[in-house]
Amino acid sequence: MNIPFNIPYTSDRELIYIQEAIAAGHLSGNGMFTKKCQRVFEKQYGFKKTLLTTSCTNALDMSALLFDIKPGDEIIIPSYTFVSTALAFARQGAKIVFIDSRSDHPGINENEIEKLITSKTKVIVPVHYAGVACDMNKIMEIANKHNLFVVEDAAHAIDSFYKGKSLGSIGHLGCFSFHETKNIQCGEGGMLAINDERFIERAEIIWEKGTNRAQFFRGETDRYQWMDIGSSFLPSDINAAFLYAQLENLDLIQKKRKRIWEQYYEGLKPLEKEKLITLPLIPEYATNNTNMFYFVCRNKKERDNLLIWLKDNGILAVFHYLSLHKSPYYKNKHDGRDLPNSDIFSDCLVRLPLYYELTLKQQLNIIDLILNYYK
């Protein structure tokens, strides 16, 4: 048996919509399918305004520009996250103040935030790991009290909720990924959700190379020109056409992923009962969009050997983030605080294959192998 970690989902409509985009004769950014996708996202999830981007990394780049991040600013970011969460802010010369994860969940420990706030702090970046919400009420309360911005790294979190509010719609900004490893995808893609109206006009300008091109095409101005900083953050309408097909199949995808996730959870429960592994926690305020199935081993050696055992049996399970405060790029810039929970997740977390085409038979085989490893 050979089971890869991921197979990107595709329906039978991506090519049809790409052909429609070609027929429409507008293949650059902000075309028909870009607008269609943005409208659906805004309507379905209550974002004030969305802009498709070429990646979540790019949406985070736009956030750092919109917040006018400058050298010396401090940004609170979890150590247990993907590099992209920190990249845009580091490039602006900001100091990354890494925060630890909760002990029971890889999301940031909201009780640690206030201790890290100084007069230089500008932004908090919660990451909704595995699509499971951080405690957003608490985080927004702290941000409002100290006059800080919040950008949600919602890369994993499409179609997931916190107390009924969609993730990415709660902070001033939210950033999504449509990379092929996410629930819906277009190879490489992303989206900026703008929830604070003050940022909408400038976001559109930064998105289109610092010009007011979007306003021009809506007839709101008689010429378009250089207005501000920016870059080329908008994807081709070909990517948007692909994404639109995925968006139409979101419910189908989610239903299947949910079934797979629950099957893993049930199948591995006996190991948790014996305290051999820890299964994922979904706090009562959060939904589970099943972006990922992970569990946590007792130590690194047991985790590493499990990954080898699965690989020897044809199954590609993987570990995840390495603590950013220990990364080659940032370890000498980090202020030296230990972040033990981040390190535990780096050392002990396992992610299992979870994709639309995974069959029940394959899944039962994976579960059996894990149960046998612990026998």
Ligand X SMILES: *Cc1c(COP(=O)(O)O)cnc(C)c1O
Binding site for ligand X (CB under 6 A): 55-57, 81-82, 84-85, 127, 153, 155-156, 177, 179, 190
- 81/195 with CB nearer ligand X: 81
CB atoms within 10 A of CB 54: 21
> What are φ and ψ of residue 194, in 5° steps?
-110, 110
Write down the least CB distance from residue 181 to ligand X, Å. Answer: 7
Three-class secondary structure assignment of 152-199: EECCCCCCCEECCEECCCCCCEEEEECCCCCCCCCCCCEEEEECCHHH
Report the alpha-carbon distance of residue 27 to residue 31 in Å, rounded.
Answer: 7
- 62/227 with CB nearer ligand X: 62
Both tokens of 248, joined, read: 């139409």
Both tokens of 126, joined, read: 């919660």
- 31/106 with CB nearer ligand X: 106
- 75/271 with CB nearer ligand X: 75
Tracing tokens 């009924």 back to the chain, one arrives at 164
Strand, coil or helix: what is 75? strand
Q: Distances in Å between the alpha carbon of 66 and those of 63, 90, 233?
A: 5, 15, 13
Write down the least CB distance from residue 84 to ligand X, Å. Answer: 4
Write down the least CB distance from residue 324 to ligand X, Å. Answer: 11
- 50/81 with CB nearer ligand X: 81
Write down the least CB distance from residue 59 to ligand X, Å. Answer: 8
- 276/316 with CB nearer ligand X: 316
Write down the least CB distance from residue 87 to ligand X, Å. Answer: 9
- 212/342 with CB nearer ligand X: 342
Write down the least CB distance from residue 80 to ligand X, Å. Answer: 10
Residue 27 contacts residue 42 (beta carbons within 8 Å):
no
Q: Encode burial over 7-33: b for 16+ CB neighbours within 10 A, e otherwise.
A: ebbbbebbeebbeebeeeeebebbbbb
C-alpha 193: how far from chain center:
13
Write down the least CB distance from residue 271 to ligand X, Å. Answer: 26
